[in-house]
Amino acid sequence: MTFADDLRRDALAIRKTFLGMHYRAKAGHIGTGLSAIDILAFLHKSWLTKEDAFILSKGHGASSLYATLHHFGVLSDEVLATYYKDDTLLPAHPAAGAFAAIPAATGSLGHGLPIAAGMAYARKYLDRTSQRVAALLSDGECNEGSVWEAAAFAAHHHLANLLVIIDANGLQGFGKTTDVLDMEPMADKWKSFGFDTREIDGHDFDQIREACSDLDATRPRCVIARTVKGNGVRFMEGKLEWHYLPMSEAQFNEALADLEGKP
């Protein structure tokens, strides 16, 4: 089995768990989770070490992170079953404190990269540059000015231990990202801020691995991962409404069948 085949198997299992969580909770934000799962699977299986840190800046994708952490043994079945319930440790957006794998609360967009840059800065000046920090943002989140303040800070301080990944699925809460506030050409903007920038297919594991390997020794890296909102479920793919909607029983069953490749 190849590297990519192995991760595809992991990502499929995570997607199934993720859909089950949303069906039982009658919760939305399904599309944004499905676009990010391949990236999350790669990071948590192949990139992050025990000394590294990960910040999910696009906090509305929290359930995809929970499903990933569960798949890799960080969260138990019992804890995962409490998703979206009263008194849960797994709310709709990440809450800090309960798990080492979730070091910061996010969800108010634009906050995650400043946190990640601060963590990378601290590690650099404590001479712990081997301890890396990764942050996953959404493309719509890049409308926030705080993202670019943090980008300027990270480049100025040559935070070579910082990896920024943009889940660029082309849709945000109120429409296409190019219609709401066009940030293209995205790669040119991150390059102009001083980042070592790559642009990839965010569902191709070989491309993800290559883009996240061999970080530049003098500057932070940004990977713009072009993804599909609702990836893996045909009736959700590229559809704005799946930023919000929960699934009916029939839709849940259809989604699972889609993942299995059944007609």
How many Å from the N-terminal Cα to the C-terminal Cα in the chain?
Answer: 26
**Tokens at 245, concatenated:** 């909607």
Cα-based distances in Å from 80 to 18, 22, 63, 150? 10, 11, 10, 32
DSSP state letters, the chain: --HHHHHHHHHHHHHHHHHHHHHHHT---HHHHHHHHHHHHHIIIII--TT-EEEESSGGGHHHHHHHHHHTTSS-HHHHTTTTSTT-SS-SS--SSS-TT--S---STT-HHHHHHHHHHHHHHTT-TTS-EEEEEETGGGGSHHHHHHHHHHHHTT-TTEEEEEEE-SEETTEEHHHHS---SHHHHHHHTT-EEEEEETT-HHHHHHHTSS--SSS-EEEEEE--TTTT-TTTTT-GGGGTPPPPHHHHHHHHHHHTT--
What pLDDT, in 10s, does the model give residues 16-37?
A: 999 999 999 999 999 999 999 9
Domains and CATH numbers, the chain: 3-259 (3.40.50.970)
**In degrees, to the nearest 5, what angle opens at C-alpha 126 toward C-alphas 72 and 195?**
70
Instruction: Compute the half-sphere exposure of residue 263: CA atoms within 13 Å on the CB side of its CA.
Output: 0
**What is the predicted pLDDT for the residue at 207?**
98
Largest CA distance in the chain: 55
- The ranges of the chain with pLDDT < 50 are none
**What is the predicted pLDDT for the residue at 261?**
87
**Tokens at 236, concatenated:** 């959700």
CB atoms within 10 A of CB 108: 12
C-alpha span between 20 and 219 (Å, rounded): 40
**What is the predicted pLDDT for the residue at 62?**
98
**What is the predicted pLDDT for the residue at 263?**
65
**What is the predicted pLDDT for the residue at 115?**
98
